[in-house]
Structure 1
Amino acid sequence: MTAAALSVVACEGATLKVDSSTVIREVDRHRFLGTNAGLWHEARQLFDTDVQYYLRELNPSFIRIPGGSWSDEYVWNGNGVWDGNTFDMSKLKDGQWDVDYSAYAPGFHLLAPGKPDEWHGNVDAYALHEFAKDKGSHSIVTVNVGSGTPEMAAEWVRWANLEMDYGVEYWEIGNELEGRWEMGSTLPDGSRMTGEVYAKKFIEYAKAMKAVDPSIKVGGPTAANTRAVFMEDLMRIAGDYVDFLSFHTYPVERHLDSERDIIDQAFSLHEPMKRYRGYIEKYQPDRKDEIELAITEWNSKVLEDRYTGDLLNGLWSAIFVGEMFREGVGFATQWDLLTVTPEGGHGLFHFAGRCVPKSQYWGLYLWSKYMGNRLLASELQGNGNVYAVVTRDDERLYVMVVNVSRDEFAQIKLDVPGVAFASEGRAATLSHREYFWDIYKHEPRWSRKPNESRFAIGDKLEFDVPPYTAKVFELPLKGFGLRSSEAVENSEIQPLEILLPESSPADLPVEGWVFLQNDPEDPKVGKQFDAAKLSVSGPATADVATVWLGEAAGRFSLTPTGAGTVTVRATAADVSVERVIEILPVQERKEIVWQFEDAPEKWGAASSYKLVADDAVRPNQQVVAVVLDGDRPTSGNDQLAVFAIAPETVERERIAGVVMDVRASADLQCADKDIGVRIVLQSESAHWVDLGSLPLEQVRGKWKTLELKLPDTKYYSVMGNTYALFIQLYQNGEKKVPVSGKIYLDNIGFILR
């Protein structure tokens, strides 16, 4: 079938007003372009010649080490304790290691305080310091609070700054210690780390470290997110010792957020930054201009999915750097340099035989190579799909415009009163022409420097920014020329190609792309066609009849109408290409996973209540009985049963729903007649997928088989990361009333596609 719709690229205008005389802030922009390097990075990748080249091009001010949570799990110097093969356990005294700091030896990783791991990373602290030094960057070191001591941290300061002359200025004290995942978040007596306890530890560490080198700056609480629950206690108790406040942010928390929702989270800094400055002004008013605010881990999202590799993350990052500049961040380090996952990963680089920059690198590169250090006052009016930021130096203005619309050009009119420009400007462009992420192979199809083009500057400054594109316009002031650059214009002509998977199930839409083909050994793409006509034969329809190719790649979607072979044809001028995809039939089946025939301790179930085996409610069968005795289902105390879903439990990516048998005892007592059970699937990508609920009155004294399907097909894509089946006891309203009786569960499993 041929698509009935036509993809029309519209144009929406906007005016950018710039006050070139008002500098909001001046700071070296490279302070925002740092990254994190970890002990687990492979040496062959860390010291790869391409990585060396690309990082020197980026010129980040800082590289943070030794790597996130490893900071609280790593003893930086192993001299006299670990020889690279064996541990001298006699050196473990009262839970701490008696390291001989008279010399350096590679350190070691801990599974728990006092318990060495079997693997200690691929590189050591020395290698990470040398790596940063070689790039012309400064190390930021996060010292071990989770399993270390102030002495251990002070010895690192002595070795790094006094012995090795690394000149490390910024030292963080601990990493994300409010998080249950972090070593040290549970104290030796079993209690939880608090802001007050952390602040007192901070003072101990700061005193010990500055006694060695008074010139250093120490900071924390290295918060896991912008809630920064320890930050006020730190300033209240230890403010005299704090030189900078640090936190982490991965603002996109949900896997299934739309692209626009993801972009909107780039503007999430204003309120937390305002709150942090309030703490400084409240507790250290005389140092309010001295204490810095730092983001020592950031990325668009924690979950490393296709969007962390896609062009979207490059556009997002270009915007986010501008927001850090605008909101007063002192310095920042992106997370991270080289981490890769099957779908993408946070790393700036992808290795597929050679090092290839991912889109986030190019978003930062735009700032490094094409922007200035003075942020100007500006106001954008008229287009909600466009972000703009303006910087300058003594000789030029640099205007960054990011158009996040997939469909519309943005026409920007620049209004800069009282400024005369030279006759020629330059534009640097990051779009699908420069970078394309293959969503099926999970790697860059091509990746290259932003394209440069020169343009005449006339009386009217008006620019077109294509859809899904970031552009920086360099505007020399009258009497000055363009800043030098190594980039070149690309005009190579390539044929068309269609990107589709080989097969896909009939119950899901299929994302496809038409793009101008590239040479994988020399990835350059040039404009050949503005658009390609699309036709589809077989059991599917396309959402558009014409795919726009002005930026080298255009997206479309196929909706299957049945099973069978589908042929997609793209035609532009006299060039036509085809791609075949097999639409597979979907057949559902039920697979029972938990039948409760063995002892309760083998069920793998957790509960807020008492779980027992019961063989009286079903003939010759044992079932789960959840015993309630005046219990109230309050938040955190409402788990009827939670079952962990391991990869070997079921083919998780095929989960389409849940089946189970439910019954309530005839003597169930509760003043809330609407009390019920709610069935939830929990995925790393979507932590609360509500499948539905059942009032217990419907199953009082009788069994009912539930078959609950996922509420939307969009959840199919996140089932591969499912980790738990959560059966919740719930009541409506804020006031929870007691429940007594039994709830029975049996034959729990999944609907599989």
Structure 2
Amino acid sequence: MKPTAAASIDSLAAAGAPINGRSLEKPPNHLTASNENYSSLITLAPHSNEGYVFRALNFRKQAVCCEEEKVKRNLRTGISRLTCLVMLCQLALAACAGGAPAANHESLPTSSVEPTALLSPTPTRLPDPTATPAATAGMVRVDSGQVEGEISPLLFGTNYGPWSVVPVDLQDEAQAGGFMYLRFPGGNWGDDNDLKHYHIDQYINLARALGAEPAISARMHGGSVEKAAELVRYTNVEKGYGVRYWSVGNEPELYGDVDTLRYNQEWRAMAEAMRAVDPSIVLVGPDITQYRGDPALDPRDAQGRLWMDEFLKANGDLVDVVSIHRYPFPTTLGAEVVEKADLYASAEEWDSIIPALRAQIRAQTGRDLPVAVTEFNSHWNKATGGETTPDSAANAVWLAGVITRMARQGVTIGAQFALQSAPKTGGWGLLSGSDVRPAYHLYPLFQQMGSQRVLSTSGVEQVSVLAALRGDGRLSVLLVHSGLEAKEVPLRLDGGWNVDPVELLRPGEPAQEIALEDTLELPAESVTLLILEKR
């Protein structure tokens, strides 16, 4: 019997509960905490001076080309190398007294979700990528006998900060979401404010409750070498939290009063000081925004120098993971209404962005480095309530298409923006103030995917595919259909898989068993996951 498709984009909009039964084959060993810790975090009263829970935030997700919208801040006049040297001497004395961790990755707790490649200080050059076989016109094809690489669990992450809160009523959904990477403090808040010890403590409690790998950004704009080093010392030496992933600053090209030369010098001074405190940390940067892999469009400083090129030239020997941000809409400062066709088409840009970034890394450093997209969503502004805004069901379909493409391109870290936001703050959050948003339901679904990516191609217009072998030996096939009408899709599954029964899952819906024939009907604007047993 041919499976019918009753699900549609409307079911995403109406779904109010997470998918049950997510599978985490290797949860982070050092990220476990009781529900009591989680409850103590989310019910904390606001701090009188800093408003930790409901602090009003004025986000600035500006288009790079818009000078009038750039952040106007007062950056310190420079970082003294002498100051840095004195501070490093002080840290060395502290190490002699037993206060600093040994320069050994095993001196800190390790997460089983962490890709081991990131721990190498000198990543080896990868072979040139093998061309993917051409797609068969009008058909989706999967060949489980051709393994293409690993899907990083850290791809399924998000952002969180003191400007946000996980409501008490949504703590079960937050824990069931399967978020594997939690970047903090996310957005420009970290360059406008100093992180306090209680911020770190509360954040670590949340990361542990979610089972997410923590990642912290030190303040650059208004910060200092000493403050950056102290942040690492408190987090990993005094408290022993074992945070591995660290970055410096956020979207520096929007500071407005800093060029690439100054930024790269200060980034290096801070990064070296942080690594002097804990040599095992993994450095992520430069977190520039609106990167598209096109020199004609990518951000430049006032002297016309490309931010990414200059960063890689200056710090390519020190950074461990090269990171970017991207928000395709709106393209102007006006109240732009994004059509569904334009929204869905924009997901395709990731097929060129990541290869372009890898080529740029090779050109400037002579080696390969892991890549990360540490902030992304469809909109940089506070749009809500529209047909294609970040809180819409269409955004969920778009997000699935983007993450599918990132996985196919081997992105190591992905952090959607953001975990939670109230409607008055913006529609980015996977959680709102009282409910989950449509895109939330993708993340429990992603946890049902395997980690060993196999060959998959789509010759069907508006259908993208990602296939992977699971740890239990089953095959997972994710299909994202952005067409506005239901479509019959021919499927070819090579490798010897049972087609009756097949488990079928869609975001926010109960699993069902179907008998898979030569074609599968995909609902309009839908995300479908098939899980097949070996014959």
Q: How does 1:25-104 map to 2 (within 5 A)?
A: 25-28=149-152, 30-42=153-165, 46=166, 48-77=167-196, 104=197
Q: What root-mean-square deviation, in Å, do the aligned CA atoms of Structure 1 and Structure 2 show? A: 2.1
| Structure 2 residue 139 is matched with structure 1 residue 20 | no
Q: Which residue does 1:371 correspond to in 2?
A: 449
Q: Is the 8 A contact 1:65 1:141 kept in 2?
A: yes
Match of 1:680 in 2: none
In structure 2, the partner of 1:563 is none
The code of the aligned residue for 1:129 comes to I
Give 1:261's aligned residue: 342
Instruction: Compare the two structures and name the one with the higher strand fraction.
Output: 1
Residue by residue, what CA displacement relative to the aligned partner does 1:535-584 show, whole Å, maximum 9, x if unpaired?
A: xxxxxxxxxxxxxxxxxxxxxxxxxxxxxxxxxxxxxxxxxxxxxxxxxx
Question: Which residue among 403, 414, 417 is the counterpart of 2:481?
Answer: 403
Larger radius of gyration: 1
Q: Distance in 2 between matches of 1:341 and 1:133?
A: 26
Aligned to 1:246: 323
Contact 1:313 1:360 (C-alpha < 8 Å) held by counterparts:
yes
Provide the secondary structure at the position in 1 that maps to 2:194: strand
1:421-457 Cα offsets, whole Å, 9 max, x none, are 2641111124xxxxxxxxxxxxxxxxxx223211134
CA drift of 1:461 comes to 3.6
Instruction: Mark the CA change 1:315 to 1:282 in structure 2 (over 3 Å): closer, same or farther.
Output: same
**Alpha carbons of 1:248 and 1:200: their partners in 2 closer, same or farther (altered >3 Å)?**
same
Structure 1: runs of 5 or more not aligned: 1-8, 78-103, 107-123, 187-192, 431-448, 479-753
Task: Compute the displacement of 1:283 (Å).
Answer: 3.2
Distance in 1 of aligned mates of 2:461 and 2:206: 42
Residues 1:470 and 2:530 aligned together: no
Distance 2:394 2:425 in 1: 14
Counterpart CA distance in 1 for 2:432 and 2:512 is 27
| Correspondence for 2:248 among 173, 177, 198 | 173
Q: Could you tell me how far 1:153 is from its partner in structure 2? A: 0.7
Find the counterpart in structure 2 of residue 138 from structure 1: 213
Conservation of the 8 A alpha-carbon contact between 2:159 and 2:183? yes
**Are the structure 2 counterparts of residues 281 and 134 from structure 1 closer, same or farther at C-alpha, using a change threshold of 3 Å?**
same
What TM-score does the superposition give when structure 2 sets the normalisation length? Answer: 0.67
Q: Are the structure 2 counterparts of residues 296 and 424 from structure 1 closer, same or farther at C-alpha, using a change threshold of 3 Å?
A: same
SS of the aligned residue for 1:346 comes to coil
Q: Identity of counterpart residues, as a percentage?
A: 26
Q: Are residues 149 and 315 of structure 1, via their aligned partners in 2, closer, same or farther at CA, if it must alter by over 3 Å?
A: same
Q: Per the alignment, do residues 281 and 344 of structure 1 end up closer, same or farther by CA in structure 2, a change over 3 Å counting?
A: closer
Structure 2: how far apart are the matches of 1:253 and 1:23? 38
Q: Is the 8 A contact 1:362 1:450 kept in 2?
A: no
- State yes or no: 1:413 paired with 2:472: no
Q: What displacement does 1:363 show?
A: 2.4
Could you tell me which residue of structure 2 aligns to residue 296 of structure 1? 374
In structure 2, what is the Cα distance between the partners aligned to 1:371 and 1:461? 22
Aligned letter for 2:528?
K
Q: Structure 2 counterpart of 1:51, which letter? A: L
Contact 1:413 1:463 in 2 (8 A): yes
Q: Note the C-alpha offset of 1:275.
A: 2.8
Paired residues of 1:400 and 1:472 also in contact (CA < 8 A)? yes
Runs of 4+ in 1 over 4 A off after TM superposition: none
DSSP 3-state at the match of 2:503: strand
C-alpha deviations, 1:76-126, integer Å up to 9, x for none?
23xxxxxxxxxxxxxxxxxxxxxxxxxx4x5xxxxxxxxxxxxxxxxx332
Q: Which residue of 2 aligns with 1:426?
A: 503
Q: Residue by residue, what CA displacement relative to the aligned partner does 1:30-88 show, whole Å, maximum 9, x if unpaired?
A: 3122111111224xxx2x344332232222221111131111111223xxxxxxxxxxx
Rounded Cα–Cα distance in structure 2 between residues aligned with 1:422 and 1:401: 16
Q: In structure 2, what is the Cα distance between the partners aligned to 1:462 and 1:268?
A: 28
| Unpaired runs of at least 5, structure 2 | 1-7, 9-136, 292-297, 300-305
Q: Is the 8 A contact 1:366 1:450 kept in 2?
A: no
Following the alignment from structure 2 to structure 1, what is the Cα–Cα distance between the partners of residues 499 and 341? 37
Contact 2:232 2:274 in 1 (8 A): yes
Contact 1:336 1:347 in 2 (8 A): yes
- Match runs of 1:704-743 below 5 Å: none
User: Partner of 1:360 in structure 2?
Assistant: 439
Preserved contact between residue 66 and residue 125 of structure 1 (Cα < 8 Å): no
Q: Deviations over 1:277-305 (max 9, x none)?
A: 123212332x41xx221111111121323
How far does the alpha carbon of each residue in 1:603-624 deviate from its partner, in whole angstroms, 9 at most, with x for none?
A: xxxxxxxxxxxxxxxxxxxxxx
1:274 aligns with 2:345: no
| 1:314 Cα deviation from its structure 2 partner | 0.9
Query: How far apart are 1:312 and its partner, in Å?
Result: 0.3
Confirm or deny: 8 A CA contact 2:145 2:495 kept in the other structure.
Answer: no
Q: Does 1:331 align with 2:413?
A: yes
Indicate if the aligned counterparts of 2:285 and 2:321 stay in contact, CA closer than 8 A.
Answer: yes
The SS at the match of 2:329 is: coil
Query: CA contact under 8 A between 2:482 and 2:525: conserved in structure 1?
Result: yes
Q: How much has 1:248 moved relative to structure 2?
A: 0.7
The within-5 A match list for 1:664-679 is: none
- Aligned equivalent of 2:281, options 212, 216, 238: 216
Match of 1:713 in 2: none
1:160 equivalent to 2:235? Answer yes
- Report the Cα offset of residue 385 of structure 1: 2.8
- TM-score, length of structure 1 as denominator length: 0.48
- For 2:188, what is the secondary structure of its paired residue? helix
Counterpart in 2 of 1:225? 290
Judge conservation of contact 2:489–2:520 (CA < 8 Å) in 1: yes
CA drift of 1:344 comes to 5.9
* Greater RCO, CA 8 A, separation 6+: 2
Which residue, out of 195, 204, 216, partners 1:129?
Answer: 204
Structure 1 residues 215 and 323: alpha-carbon distance in aligned structure 2, compared to 1, 3 A threshold: same
Q: Distance in 2 between matches of 1:235 and 1:199?
A: 9
8 Å contact 2:145–2:494 — kept in the other structure?
Answer: no
Structure-1 separation of matches of 2:143 and 2:339: 34
Q: Is the 8 A contact 2:350 2:402 kept in 1?
A: no
Greater share of residues in helix: 2
